[in-house]
Structure 1
Amino acid sequence: MKKMLKGLGAALCVALPFIAQAHADAATASATGAADQTLVQRGAYLAQLGDCAACHTAPKGKPFAGGLPMNTPMGRIYVTNITPDARTGIGGYTEADFARALREGVAKDGHNLYPAMPYPSYAKVDDDDVKALYAFFMHGVAPVQQANRESDIKWPLNMRWPLMFWNMAFLEKGAYRDKPGKDVAWNRGAYLVQGLGHCGSCHTPRGVAFQESALDESGSAFLSGALLDGWFASNLTGEHNTGLGRWSDEDLRTFLKTGANRHASAFGAMTSVINNSTQAMSDQDVAAVSTYLKSLPPVGGTGAAAYTYDPQATKVSLDRPANDAGARVYTAYCMHCHGVDGHGFAPMLAPLAGNPNVLAKDASSLINVTLNGTGDLVIDGVPSPFPMPGFAAVLDDQQIADVLSFVRAGWNNGAPAVGAAEVAKLRQSTQAGR
């Protein structure tokens, strides 16, 4: 018996280190798995901040499988599959490959991406966030086998090698660095707006080579508003009439979370940004973005005097619509939502009096939304009850020009009139293929 116990003791002495090591390995694996999952979850949040789904998911398509058409000055391109499928997606990408594509616009096989992919903005994303994004796309996204579609751009404009020279001229490499003298919230907001949020991709005018005229607040054109794909992306500086000058911090935070406030409602591509990105932002990040944007000095605008509300002349026209073609259309089709006073029923129904989009020099967004309406804002899974309908099949070009001219002059808006030729041009470009 003593001999048996001695043998058992010897066996335990041999086995215990291996048992202890097995427990240690299991604990390490568990901790690693938890850390990886935390990284994937962080990457999922960052992908929302970057609004990746909006561009890389086609209508009724599978998440991140690509196929969405995008119009460029050279022709139509189709967004690529960024699921972890090894054959048609990015499953074969290393983290370094992923970082190069994200921040430099160069795919794994070495071909250059079109700058419709906002890599000049994503160049500012730091290494930790790139790592988290990579973890999400490799481990948090379902692989989808869906081949990428070639662009409709004709030769020789479809050659990609000239993009190397475009990058040399316009791509500023290097992650965002905090600005001295600015607090934590301002720098966080600047990082999000200039980087993952890539706000300048739409809201900053572009030069002759389709480059953004400025990539941060050091450039005077930064976020001063721009025409893109039939919409005029609003001025996001402190300009009083067409920008955010009259918006309080609370107004801006409300808009980012819900897509509407007492001044305006989201439309066009901004609807998708609200639905897929900004409503998911943490309160801290929303506050940081608002802090940064509200710090930008006024740029752009029309040079008109600061807007003040005056309903009198418009009320007279609406009292006698037979004398004004625009007033007739407004009375028949618009007044029940936007009101005699032009205040609408904000935030559910947008105001027209003093609305920055109404006051903008470029009327493209007003024409586009009147012709085609806008998609539903979907906040916390609930669609907005009163989306703007399209009137392309109801009103002709002259009627739309008349009513928009009426709105842009009404309630002391003082914006330029709209011509029927402008409406016809946008009708043709936006209705093609419908």
Structure 2
Amino acid sequence: MKIRAFPFAAALGAAALLLLASAPHARADDTGDLVARGRYVAEASDCSACHTVKGGRPFAGGLAFRLPFGSIYAPNISPDPIHGIGAYSEAAFSRAVREGVRRDGASLYPAMPFPSYARMSDSDIHALFTYFMKGVQPVASATPAISWPLSMRWPMSLWRAAFAPSVQSAQKDVARPFPDSAIARGAYLVEGPGHCGACHSPRGIALQEKTLSASSSTLFLSGGAPVDGFVPTSLRQDQRTGLASWSEDDIVTFLATGRNRKGEAFGGMTDAISHGTQHLSDADLHAIARYLRFLGPNDPKATAWQYDPAAATSLRQGNATARGAKVYVDHCAACHRTDGAGYAPAFPPLAGNPVVMSDKPDSLVHVVQSGAALPGMARAPSAFVMPAYGQRLSAEQIADVVTFIRGAWGNNASPVDATSVASLQHSAPPPVLSEKPVPLN
């Protein structure tokens, strides 16, 4: 069974904009078209990533989320009337999705991103409900029971009252003005069904997202807490640690294929692309990219990354005396090159990479320790695997090579010590490579 940390992964104007423009144009009485549109909404909302266990039946639930006091489990959302949502009315379904309240009145845990889903339009909820009821096969599979104290649901009602927006207030924020319709559409997808802030925004002491949209704070999408040991990066126009150096096409390519000339997906972001964004239309992907490029930096004082050839020059001259340089030459340079440029999109660059320059080195350490697997996508069927070095290199050697990578080529990020590396050992699950590309539906 796949285990995720809380908050989870995976790694997402006007009323007319709330319609899924790329979904089939459906007549009200055409159930088939409405089911197809609902499937698109489900993909935009990344439902499968949390409600389908790898190798299991679609939407049968059972995925575990680790919490400090135990585990909760994603419920069965197939239309089975006993174990799933088959007995739900559309009103009850809408309340669960957008308000976090089950049909029996109990509160859901916010591993279900209902604070973001509150922004979803009535028409999208209707299509989503139709899809689950008529386009998904029922699965008679019970969700594992939640043990005490997590079995007590009443604290979640207090959490909802304190931190979850009402549907009315969320819809009002959706309708705020934007420079153009594409940016408005991108805001809806990112802030609503895509629930990107669930991972990429910082959380408070009660694990609430400190902000749910870009309208309230530049903290939105400025980087999140560790998820499965990986640290979600800033999706704002931050220099060095954000997307300031990414073009609109770079973002589109990444969301469609999990790779581009700047980097590759890993950890929960791989699932978010595989189950979600790779299925979106080009129009919606460009809308998302335009919205992300519209967001200003959280740290406007940060300076842009500038390439420094000193490390590459030393390595080419046979000088590997710098801390970690010999480990890098022996284990990394063949794919990522002595100049740190890599061979994108197969092997990502390390020079100027936001993940490498992050204030927290956790993601880079975990990739070195546990390796990484990028499955084939419908638009990029080739799969790539980076080997794990956790059993080949000592904590000191990993600290050295990570320090070299973070300091070379103008990255100028802080060094890492062996104690920090050892504390991160085995805290993230090993990567899993899909056996075949995930097809578009």
- Range into which the TM-score falls when normalised by the shorter chain: 0.7 to 0.9
**Which residue is equivalent to 1:367?**
365
Cα offset, 1:283, TM superposition: 1.1
List aligned pairs for 1:145-294, cutoff 5 A.
Answer: 145-151=140-146, 154-155=148-149, 157-174=150-167, 175-176=170-171, 177-217=174-214, 218-229=216-227, 230-294=229-293
How many residue pairs get matched? 400
**One-letter amino acid matched to 2:284:** D
**Which residue is equivalent to 1:94?**
89
1:142 aligns with 2:141: no
Identity in percent: 46
1:395 aligns with 2:393: yes
Cα contact 1:242–1:357 (8 A) shared by 2: yes
List aligned pairs for 1:6-85, cutoff 5 A.
Answer: 35-85=30-80
Cα offset, 1:180, TM superposition: 2.4
**Which residue is equivalent to 1:324?**
322
Pair 1:151–1:389, CA change in 2 (3 A): farther
Cα offset, 1:32, TM superposition: 8.3
Cα contact 2:314–2:320 (8 A) shared by 1: no
SS at match of 1:379: coil
Bigger Rg, which one:
1
Cα contact 1:235–1:300 (8 A) shared by 2: no
**One-letter amino acid matched to 2:233:** S
Cα offset, 1:413, TM superposition: 0.4
**Which residue is equivalent to 2:22?**
none
> Which stretch of structure 1 is more off in the superposition, 264-273 or 421-430?
421-430
Cα contact 2:315–2:338 (8 A) shared by 1: no
SS at match of 2:427: helix
SS at match of 1:70: strand
**One-letter amino acid matched to 1:151:** I
Cα contact 1:257–1:280 (8 A) shared by 2: yes
RMSD: 2.1
**Which residue is equivalent to 2:3?**
none
CA distance in 1, matches of 2:110, 2:202: 14
Cα contact 1:124–1:173 (8 A) shared by 2: no
**Which residue is equivalent to 1:24?**
none
Cα offset, 1:321, TM superposition: 5.6
Cα offset, 1:82, TM superposition: 0.6
TM-score of the superposed pair, with normalisation by structure 1: 0.87
**Which residue is equivalent to 1:409?**
407
SS at match of 1:375: strand
Cα contact 2:98–2:119 (8 A) shared by 1: yes
Cα offset, 1:274, TM superposition: 1.1
CA distance in 1, matches of 2:343, 2:393: 24
Cα offset, 1:214, TM superposition: 0.6
**Which residue is equivalent to 1:103?**
98
Cα contact 1:275–1:379 (8 A) shared by 2: yes
Deviations 1:188-247 (A, max 9, x none): 111100000000000000000100011111212100001232111110111111111111
**Which residue is equivalent to 1:6?**
none
**Which residue is equivalent to 2:10?**
none
**Which residue is equivalent to 1:13?**
none
Deviations 1:80-108 (A, max 9, x none): 11101111111111101110110111111
Cα contact 2:373–2:384 (8 A) shared by 1: no
**Which residue is equivalent to 2:346?**
348
**One-letter amino acid matched to 1:64:** F
Unaligned ranges ≥5, structure 1: 1-30
Cα contact 1:317–1:324 (8 A) shared by 2: no
Cα contact 1:318–1:327 (8 A) shared by 2: no
> Which stretch of structure 1 is more off in the superposition, 192-201 or 304-313?
304-313
